[in-house]
Amino acid sequence: MRIVIRLTLTDVMEVNRWEFTQRLKGYLTMGLGAFISIVGLHVWIVQDRPGAPGVVLIGGLFGLLGIFATRIAGICAWLFKTDKRSYTLEFGSGDGVKVTIDGEQRGLEWGIFAPCYKTPNLLVLPFLKSADGLIIPKRCCEPGELELLRELLARRAKSA
């Protein structure tokens, strides 16, 4: 099975929205912002210190940063990390996936992939020891081909 892929900003944003570690970072940043704001409010109300409103403002900024963390990470990944060239993935009965970019072919064994996951519009094959992976937009597959790919990934990449 051969799939030609060209990622869009929407694809990268969706991966970052669904990736657990990205969401966890956002939740932790929001929690830190809430904690800083609560401490600032306590110092402002109970101890009546002059610098306390600034602490509350900093806590609020951390909270906003946490809320938008996955979006910020997605935009940065698109701008600085994503290869915007088209590439081809070939799935066969062999030991892995062949990736071809600009005529250069590279084989990736199944053992380097973590269990795959799906989002509403993507299939994602993350690498075990990296935050990267292969993103397969569902729009790049024919309807029957998509089901075959899901079955193959379930067998080979230990899909959940």
Q: In CATH, what number is assigned to the domain containing residue 99?
A: 2.30.29
Domains held by the chain: number: 2
- Tell me, yes or no, whether 114 and 57 share the same domain: no
- Tell me, yes or no, whether 22 and 69 share the same domain: yes
Residue 71: which domain range?
11-80
Q: For residues 82 and 48, is the Cβ–Cβ distance under 8 A?
A: no
- Tell me, yes or no, whether 73 and 108 share the same domain: no
The pLDDT, as a whole number, for residue 142 is 85
- Tell me, yes or no, whether 74 and 91 share the same domain: no
The pLDDT, as a whole number, for residue 159 is 42
Cα separations in angstroms, 33 against 30, 50, 55, 61:
5, 20, 10, 7
Half-sphere exposure of 153 (CA within 13 A, CB side): 24
- Tell me, yes or no, whether 49 and 104 share the same domain: no
Tokens describing residue 2:
């051969």
- Tell me, yes or no, whether 124 and 142 share the same domain: yes
- Tell me, yes or no, whether 74 and 95 share the same domain: no
- Tell me, yes or no, whether 63 and 111 share the same domain: no
- Tell me, yes or no, whether 72 and 99 share the same domain: no
Q: What pTM was estimated for this model as a whole?
A: 0.78
- Tell me, yes or no, whether 74 and 43 share the same domain: yes
Cα of first residue to Cα of last residue in the chain, in angstroms, is: 21
The pair phi, psi for residue 109, each rounded to 5°, is -75, 155
- Tell me, yes or no, whether 43 and 15 share the same domain: yes
Q: For residues 125 and 133, is the Cβ–Cβ distance under 8 A?
A: yes
Query: H/E element holding 109?
Result: strand 104-109
The pLDDT, as a whole number, for residue 21 is 86
The pLDDT, as a whole number, for residue 158 is 55
- Tell me, yes or no, whether 69 and 106 share the same domain: no
Cα separations in angstroms, 80 against 9, 76, 102, 139:
12, 6, 20, 24
Low-confidence ranges of the chain (pLDDT < 70): 93, 157-160
